[in-house]
Amino acid sequence: MPIIEDPSDPASCSASQQEKFSHFKREVYQKVLKKVFQSLKTRSQNGEAHCCGDGISRVLYSGILIKSQDAEEAAYFCTCHAASANHLCPKCFVSQKELHDILGTIELRTPQSMQAVLSHVSKMKTKIAREQILKDNGLHNHFLWGFWFSDPYKAYSYDTLHSDDLGKWGKHFWVLTLSILKNGTKRQAFYDILKLQQTISVYQKCYAKVEQEYGKIFDFLKQHAVHHVIQNIHEKGTVDNFSTRIGEGFQQEAAQAYDQTNMKNAEHQLKLTWQLGSPEGKKTNLHNMATDLAKVNRQYSSLDERYQSLEDWIEGRDIMRCNPKFHGRQRFDCIIIHNDTTLELSIAQLDNLFCFWLPSGETVYLALVFHFSHSKWKPKTT
């Protein structure tokens, strides 16, 4: 999802200006997503022949069945008004005053009902009347309405990471717990809050008790999300199938890998994953050597590198060695070096590998190589 920054200061904007910009962002998101999924629209309507894993050819119809996002991203995806709407849930028509009720029966959103609302809006003569209807229902036009087998409201799934860990617990229960402990209230409150992780029926009783004793208001969207979790499990299986935890974890790893690049041609560098192997002896204090660059260093005799081919995208693995006693023989492998500045390739022999721990806490990896000189010899081709 693209990040759209408000060019003006949001704090200085009026409520109508903020709503106008939010509407603009929803339109941008919808147009971007429509472009991204454009190739699937025809396939969702007409199908596409595909040879399945069992060797049988079938006609498959593309569709979006699971969508895992945080509440703000889901609001933009489902084209909801979010916090400014009277019915802000992307899946149903629960009112803001009923968000605490997780056991009641609530009408669900469907593409047909949402399109009927927009059809009604188009018949209104004044802008105020149109905006009021949209605010009451909390929606705008959605790019998936033209797709078959894709219900954007049913696809939105309960996310344990944002709804539980970072949502109800991180922004509500943990804050309440700290407040209770800070104010010296009886410690039993902490255990009352922890009971909220039990089954939904018990959960409802527990949060009602917390609400009564400590004045906590539970009318927020991530509290209401529990209402849909059982249906999500029936339709899509265990919550692990639609949790963002794996994707969020990969995003952190990708960010850490990007920080290790030189920020130029980062995509090529991110494809390379490597580690040093076969450490030689103990860490050495470099004060005993002819340099004072670091406190300690360690010498290695192999470099294990995993990479992805730019030709067939298949992952491969190379082990490059610089070992004077590799099975009783010397082995110093030759390597190809890519110069990020000149974009040139050169051939060298790997002589040694070092890992340095600097006083600043930074870890530096160095390789000692011997470059081959360019030969003046040219093959005779005539």
pLDDT above 80 for 89: yes
- Do 239 and 274 sit in the same domain of this protein? no
Q: What is the pLDDT of residue 234?
A: 81
pLDDT tens digits, one per residue of 226-275 = 888 878 888 888 788 888 877 777 777 777 777 766 677 676 666 555 66
The structural domain count of the chain equals 2
CA–CA separation, 39 and 62 (whole Å): 10
Task: State the first-to-last Cα distance of the chain, in angstroms, to the nearest integer.
Answer: 58
Average pLDDT score over residue span 21-33: 81
pLDDT, tens digit, for every residue of 155-185? 888 888 777 777 777 777 777 777 766 765 5
Please report which residue ranges of 195-294 form alpha helices under DSSP H.
200-214, 221-224, 229-236, 245-259, 266-270
Residues 137 and 31 in one domain: yes
> Does 154 share its domain with 232?
yes
322: number of Cβ within 10 Å = 24
pLDDT for res 294: 44
Instruction: Give pLDDT, residue 289.
Output: 45
> Which comes out higher in pLDDT, residue 293 or 85?
85
Rounded to two decimals, the pTM is 0.52
The DSSP 8-state label assigned to residue 170 in this structure reads I
Q: What CA–CA distances, in Å, run from 368 to 167, 299, 334, 365? A: 50, 11, 12, 10
Same domain assignment for residues 126 and 231: yes
Using DSSP bridges, classify how beta strands 296-308 and 345-357 pair: parallel, antiparallel or unpaired: antiparallel
The model's pLDDT over 38-64, given as tens digits with 9 standing for 90+, comes to 888 889 999 999 898 888 999 999 888
Residues across the chain: 382
140 closest CA partner among 30, 21, 17: 30
3-state secondary structure of 325: strand
pLDDT of the residue at 60:
92
**pLDDT of 101 strictly over 50:** yes
Of the listed ranges 4-13, 262-271, 322-331, the least confidently predicted one is 262-271
* Segment among 194-198, 211-215, 329-333, 358-362 with least mean pLDDT: 194-198
Domain range holding 128? 19-247
Regarding whether 104 and 180 lie in a shared domain, the answer is yes
Q: What share of the chain is helix, strand, coil (3-state, %, to 5)?
A: 45, 20, 35
Among the candidates 247, 279, 300, a domain finishes at 247
- Both 234 and 291 in one domain: the answer is no
Are 86 and 181 members of one domain? yes
Residue 377 in tokens = 């010899």
Check residue 216 and give its pLDDT.
Answer: 80
Answer yes or no: do 188 and 275 share one domain. Answer: no
DSSP character for 123?
T
CB-CB contact of 225 with 163 (8 Å): yes
CA distance 282 to 291: 18
Cβ atoms of 166 and 79 within 8 Å: the answer is no
**pLDDT recorded at residue 376:** 80
Q: Residues 158, 240: one domain?
A: yes
Same domain, 209 and 324: no
27, pLDDT greater than 60: yes
Do the beta carbons of residue 65 and residue 236 sit within 8 Å? yes
pLDDT at 197 over 70: no
Per the prediction, the chain carries an average pLDDT of 77
Contact 113, 136 (CB under 8 A): no
Which of 14-28, 289-303, 368-382 is the most confident on average?
A: 368-382
Within this chain, do residues 202 and 329 fall inside the same structural domain, yes or no? no
- Closest Cα to residue 152, out of 69, 231, 216? 69
Q: Are 99 and 221 within 8 A, CB to CB?
A: yes
Residue 333 has pLDDT above 90, yes or no: yes
Question: Lowest-pLDDT range, 88-92, 218-222, 294-298, 353-357?
Answer: 294-298
Q: Are 306 and 274 in contact (CB under 8 A)?
A: yes
Beta carbons within 8 Å of 330's beta carbon, 6+ residues apart: 323, 324
The better pLDDT of the pair 51, 380 is held by 51
Residue 290: its pLDDT value, please? 43
The token duo for 343 is 């974009």
With a cut of 50, say whether residue 146 has pLDDT above it.
yes
- Does pLDDT of 35 surpass 80? yes
The pLDDT, as a whole number, for residue 351 is 92
